[in-house]
Amino acid sequence: MLRLSQLTIDLAVLALAFALAFLIRFDWRPPTDMVGRLALTVPYVVIGEYLVLWAFGVPRFSWRYIGLREVWRLLAAVVVATVLLVWSRVGFGAFQADVPYLRHGVIPLGVIAANFILMFLGISGVRVLRRILGEHVESQRRGRGIEPASRVRTMLVGAGQGGVMMAKEIANRPDLALEPVGFIDDDPAKAGLVVHGISVLGPTEALPELCERQGAQQVLITMASAPGDTVRRISRLAEEAGVPVKIIPGLFEIADGRVELSRIRPVAIDDLLRREPVELDIEAIAADLKDRVVLVTGAGGSIGSEICRQVASFGPARLLLVERAENSLFHIHRELRSRPGVLEIVPLIADVTDRQRMRAIFETHAPSAVFHAAAHKHVPMMEWNAGEALKNNVFGTKVVADLAHELGADGFVMISTDKAVNPTSVMGATKRVAEMYVQALASRSDTRFVTVRFGNVLGSAGSVIPIFQEQIQRGGPVTVTHPEMQRYFMTIPEACQLVLQAGSMGRGGEIFILDMGAPVKIVDLARDLIRLSGFVPEDDIEIVFSGVRPGEKLFEELSVDAENAERTRHAKIFVGRR
């Protein structure tokens, strides 16, 4: 029924446009012979024009969601229809002397020109009108029950693509209860412009003054790819203005489908350390993983579970989740099973130090790609439990690597740490021994053995961020070991993306080192977290220095001089060999 009504409207618009073109051409008083010519040709013109629209797929366009792409295609169809009218006019004109009846098909060029404009405006206009009405109805529905006074006056920072998308979202989503009071952007060319109905008021340095002038109740950062330094600076300016600051999700979160643009949230510590999005060689990674059997050890951990998520997106034939902690395995297995698509996921409770159990897994499933993320990682804890660190980090790695070599896996990627460089801790020393064993095995194996080494990841279980957050929730104090303590940080998704990329690049024996950016002082991290929680460092929440713990270093290193680390074809991955 809907298609029939749309067909009727289109035919009516085409007929009306053609008739109006005659009236306009002859100043609303067409001669009698032209009226007859109109009556005779209108059925053929309308049917011909509609057939051209159909050939270009115009009737299949959704009226409710028409956009610029569809309008351009519609314009192309109208141009073709007009060219055909001109061609028929020339053809009929050439033969009308021999066949007088053909003169009725000679349409004046002025009529054809006017019809071109009216046809385009009419066909596009009814669709745009439908979209406007649909959005208005949807906006009214979403905004029902929300009083204008309850809307939060919001200053938008960033009038780029993300800002425009957010402005449209706010306009279409009254249920967000946001009232934009202006854009702030550092691009001088945008100053004074109006973007989607919102004025660009000035640069970010004027944020406190502009917030006060406009009565802003909050600041919203609308730059999905803003670097961490920019987010940090804007957060400080918002703090000066005395208004809370929020942010739209980052590009990775949106692209991965985890969140929507409208999922506005408070600024998190990840945002203050945000880096350039990772560019991946998708084809190279897919060649390693697609339709392969992939095994991930430590699949329930912070790194292992994220590797599983990302591997799953490349369509392996089977994904083997090896984990000794039952609850962790349950959660990642349930999460992956809920994803759309057909993917065989096999949860395997196993300890990597159990050679018999691991052999049974390898012989049963024959994995072609192995990601070894299982490890003990807490430095002080391993100082107290050195034997367990040795058993798990060294001998567990040896078991898995030996089986990969013996049973013919194509590739083996070991996850290592910056603490393995010139180690001063039991944990670091065991990881370094594991690195050396994997490198030695690579020299006599057909399996491609590589190691990927990186620093701390944000938000992993038991890491410094969750500990600080727990201490802040208790009212402090926040404990930092030393004022000069520095660490490299990277988000878990970014680290795992680069692990997959490095794994696809390896030929055997390499130690890949991820570019972690600049090191961050732990005390600065603590102060940022306190501010993000709505408190003032030292005034509301005290910071206490507890002293360096056994095995810790003030500064971590990512490589040693003897490794001669060099850049690879990927800007964020270095390679070292000994």
Structure confidence by residue, pLDDT tens digits, 452-505:
887 777 666 656 777 887 888 888 788 888 888 877 677 787 788 888 888 888
pLDDT reported for residue 132: 82
Residue 296 has pLDDT above 90, yes or no: yes
Q: Is residue 419 flagged as an active site residue?
A: yes
Q: Are residues 304 and 441 in the same domain?
A: yes
Q: Output 410 or 286, whichever has higher pLDDT.
A: 410
Over residues 339-376, the pLDDT tens digits come to 877 688 999 999 999 999 999 999 999 999 999 999 99
Catalytic residue among 246, 398, 419, 431: 419
Q: Are residues 111 and 251 in the same domain?
A: no
Q: Output 139 or 479, whichever has higher pLDDT.
A: 479
pLDDT reported for residue 135: 72
Average pLDDT over residues 63-69: 83
Domain for residue 407, yes or no?
A: yes
Over residues 11-35, the pLDDT tens digits come to 999 999 999 998 998 888 888 888 8
Average pLDDT over residues 521-548: 81
Domain for residue 465, yes or no?
A: no
Average pLDDT over residues 38-56: 91
Greatest mean pLDDT range, 147-161, 170-184, 359-373:
359-373
pLDDT reported for residue 398: 95
Domain for residue 53, yes or no?
A: yes
Q: Are residues 346 and 430 in the same domain?
A: yes
Inter-residue long-range contacts of 375-381, CB under 8 Å, 24+ positions, other chains counted:
375/298, 375/415, 375/431, 376/427, 376/430, 377/417, 377/427, 377/462, 378/427, 378/462, 379/419, 379/425, 379/426, 379/427, 379/428, 379/549, 379/550, 379/551, 379/552, 380/549, 380/550, 380/551, 380/552
Q: Are residues 345 and 229 in the same domain?
A: no
* Boundary residue ending a domain (246, 272, 298): 272
Q: Are residues 109 and 244 in the same domain?
A: no
Residue 577 has pLDDT above 70, yes or no: no
477 preceded by a cis bond (ω within 30 of 0): yes
Name the nearest CA neighbour of 330 among 347, 346, 352, 351. Answer: 347
Domain for residue 169, yes or no?
A: yes
Q: Are residues 303 and 211 in the same domain?
A: no
- Quick one: CA dihedral 422, 427, 429, 430, positive or negative? negative
Residue 232, CB-side half-sphere exposure with 13 Å CA sphere: 14
Cα-based distances in Å from 176 to 179, 261, 265, 568: 9, 12, 12, 45
What token pair was written down for 566? 């060099």
pLDDT reported for residue 427: 92
Over residues 227-248, the pLDDT tens digits come to 777 888 888 888 888 888 888 7
- Is residue 349 within 8 Å of residue 335, measured between CB atoms? no
- Give the least confident one: 41-50, 188-197, 544-553: 544-553
pLDDT reported for residue 400: 95
**Alpha-carbon Rg for the chain in angstroms:** 33
Q: Are residues 126 and 228 in the same domain?
A: no
- Is residue 417 within 8 Å of residue 455, measured between CB atoms? yes
Q: Are residues 15 and 128 in the same domain?
A: yes
Q: Are residues 96 and 162 in the same domain?
A: no
What is the amino acid identity at position 406?
A: E
Domain for residue 36, yes or no?
A: yes
pLDDT reported for residue 47: 93
Domain for residue 525, yes or no?
A: no
Q: Output 560 or 345, whichever has higher pLDDT.
A: 345
Domain for residue 106, yes or no?
A: yes
Supply the CATH number for residue 226's domain: 3.40.50.720
pLDDT reported for residue 254: 43
pTM: 0.60
How many of the other CB atoms lie within 10 Å of CB of 87?
Answer: 10
Average pLDDT score, the chain? 82
What is the amino acid identity at position 493?
A: P
Give the DSSP H/E element, type plus range, for residue 451: strand 448-454
* Range of the structural domain that residue 179 is part of: 148-272
* Boundary residue ending a domain (272, 299, 314): 272
Q: Are residues 254 and 304 in the same domain?
A: no
Number of domains comprising the chain? 3
Average pLDDT over residues 505-533: 78
Q: Output 447 or 258, whichever has higher pLDDT.
A: 447
Residue 298 has pLDDT above 80, yes or no: yes
Give backbone dihedrals phi and psi of 487, rounded to 5 degrees, phi first. -145, 155
Give the pLDDT band (50/70/90) at residue 222.
confident
Domain for residue 547, yes or no?
A: no
- Is residue 374 within 8 Å of residue 298, measured between CB atoms? yes
Average pLDDT over residues 542-557: 74
Can you count the helices (H) and strands (E) in the chain?
20, 22
- Is residue 333 within 8 Å of residue 358, measured between CB atoms? no
Q: Output 131 or 94, whichever has higher pLDDT.
A: 131
Q: Are residues 96 and 175 in the same domain?
A: no
pLDDT reported for residue 80: 94
* Boundary residue ending a domain (239, 272, 305): 272
Give the pLDDT band (50/70/90) at residue 404.
very high
* Percent of the chain predicted with pLDDT > 70: 83
3-state SS assignment for residue 463 = coil
pLDDT reported for residue 553: 66
Q: Are residues 297 and 254 in the same domain?
A: no
Residue 257 has pLDDT above 50, yes or no: no
